Chain A
Amino acid sequence: GENVEQHPSTLSVQEGDSAVIKCTYSDSASNYFPWYKQELGKRPQLIIDIRSNVGEKKDQRIAVTLNKTAKHFSLHITETQPEDSAVYFCAASKGFQKLVFGTGTRLLVSP
């Protein structure tokens, strides 16, 4: 089955810096790659997703890139703010099948 690895497990940046979180997946048939943000004590919520027919997607300060050949995808956050502090999860799935999540990255943005 699908296996998703996520790095780093923790990431500390200064406010205004950029943050990059990377994930690799094992199943070349996976075609949907969402990113979820989970604030402390809250439920995970989708922040951006990308499908396998697209190489990059942007939404304001957030972007996701996908390299199907290398089977990895990354989340980029520019101009980080303290409210970006949270745990971020990547995930992968194919077709109708279940999402498989990475182990999460705790992002800390210091003022």
Chain B
Amino acid sequence: NAGVTQTPKFQVLKTGQSMTLQCAQDMNHNSMYWYRQDPGMGLRLIYYSASEGTTDKGEVPNGYNVSRLNKREFSLRLESAAPSQTSVYFCASSPGQPNTEAFFGQGTRLTVV
């Protein structure tokens, strides 16, 4: 059982380049999330998708776009990468019912130079 799978695990970008982080879950969960983790800042929500076909902004959406491709997949796109977007990115999913556990992917370490 794979759970939540993110690709790639590591990425180095030059300022201004674009890229898409991929996330897929095989638990038939309704809700999916993208967080970024920076030292001393905890986990901050970038975007989330409560169900297939819907997306909403989180705490730090600027510079990012998302696509809920289907129930399994939720991608995060950086259109023009900036050094401030250097971070570890986590995708997560949950059943979407009230008060349920969120399962995290293994993370993507992104460096923008």
Binding site for B on A (CB under 8 A): 6, 9, 31-32, 34, 42-46, 49, 51, 89, 93, 95-96, 98-104
Interface of B is mostly: loop
Select from chain A the residue with minimum beta-carbon distance to B43.
A101
Size of B's binding interface in residues, CB under 8 A: 24
Tell me how far the C-beta of A98 lies from the nearest C-beta in chain B, rounded to whole angstroms: 5
A102-B45 Cα distance, complex, nearest whole Å: 12
Contact B98 A96 (CB under 8 A): yes
Q: Which residues does B use to contact A, with CB under 8 Å?
A: 31, 33, 35, 40-45, 48, 50, 58-59, 90, 96-99, 101-102, 104-107
* CA of A89 to CA of B42, assembled, Å: 8
Q: Is A43 a contact partner of B105 (Cβ separation < 8 A)?
A: yes
Closest Cβ–Cβ distance, residue A45 to chain B (whole Å): 7
Whether B101 and A34, one on each chain, are in contact in the complex, defined by CB atoms closer than 8 angstroms, is yes
Tell me which residues across on chain B come within 8 A of A96, comparing CB atoms.
31, 50, 96-98
Distance A42 CA – B106 CA, assembled complex (angstroms): 6
Complex partner residue of A44 from B41, B43, B50, CB under 8 angstroms:
B43
Which of A31, A46, A95, A98 lies in contact with B101, CB distance below 8 A?
A46
Contact residue among B33, B40, B41, B97 (Cβ-Cβ distance under 8 Å from A98): B33
**In the complex the two chains form, what is the Cα distance from A49 to B101 in whole Å?**
8
Q: A98-B48, A100-B45, A103-B41 are in contact. Are A43 and B104 (CB under 8 A)?
A: yes
